[in-house]
Amino acid sequence: MAFKVLLVGESWTTSETHFKGFDQFGSVHFHTGADPLLKALKGTEFEVDYMTAHEAAEGFPFEMEGLKPYDIIILSDIGANTFLLPPDVWLRSKCVPNRLRLLKEWVAEGGNLIMMGGYFSFQGIDGKARWRRTPVEEVLPVTCHPWDDRVEIPEGAVAELTAPEHAVFAGVDGEWPPILGVNEVEVKAGAEVLARLPEDQGGHPLLVTGTFGKGRTAAWTSDIGPHWLSPAFCDWPGYKQLWVNVLGWLVAR
C-alpha cells in the first residue's frame, strides 16, 4: 500500500553582492535542503510530492479537497507567513481561506502532520517563523516559545532515546551521529517524548509524538539535512529507517 506525502518548504534563495575594487555585481542562488529526505524515501511506500517554499505561497491548497489526497503533510523550515500572506492578501487585499485553520481541520478529520525543525520552523530565528499561537501549533504535540528558539550546538549532540522500544526506532541500531542544533519547544500534556538531547546539553526534546482529533502529529526539532544535521547523520543507514518508521507510525491505526 502506498501513502501520499506532501513535503512543504526546505528551499530558499540567496542574493549576493560581489565587490572588486571600484566595480560590483550581483548573483542569485536557489537552494533546497530536501534532498536527503527525498532520497531516503525514494522507492519506499511513501510517495512524496515536494512543494518548495516559494511555490507554497500560492500552490498550497486553499480548500479541503486539495489536502484530502495526502496521508501525511510535512512542514519543514517554512514560516507561517507564507501561508497567511499569499499574493491575493499581500498584494491585492483580498480575503482568502486561512490555510492554517484548514490544516487544523484536516488533522482533526484524520490527516497526519509533522513539523521538522529549522530556522523557519516552530518560532525560528528572531521569532520570525511565527507558528506560536496558530491553529497549527494547536495540533502539534509541542508549543512554541515567544522568542528566537534556536539552540545552536556547534560541538554536536548525540540523541538520547527515552523510549528505545518504540516502533519508530525499530531497526535503527547503534549510536546516532551528532546533530548541530534544535528548536527549543515545550511538550504538551499527553504527548510522548521519544528522543531528546543529553541533560548536560539542555535535555531539549528532539522527537515528540501526539494526536489531535482523528489524526496523529509529530515534531522533530532538528533539521532533515544540513546544517543542523551533520553529513554523517544524512549518510547514516539509520536515517532512512528512522524516517520510514516515523512516517509509518503517523499512518498506523
Classify strands 3-9 and 72-76 as parallel, antiparallel or unpaired.
Answer: parallel
For residue 71, give the 3-state DSSP assignment: coil
Q: Are 208 and 191 in contact (CB under 8 A)?
A: yes
pLDDT at position 253 is 84
Distance CA 151, CA 247 (A): 25
Residue found by looking up cell 499527553 in the block: 190
pTM of the model: 0.97
Under DSSP, the state recorded for 178 is P
pLDDT at position 1 is 81
pLDDT means per 10 residues, the chain with 253 residues, are 96 96 97 96 98 97 98 98 98 98 98 98 98 98 98 97 97 94 98 98 98 98 95 95 98 93
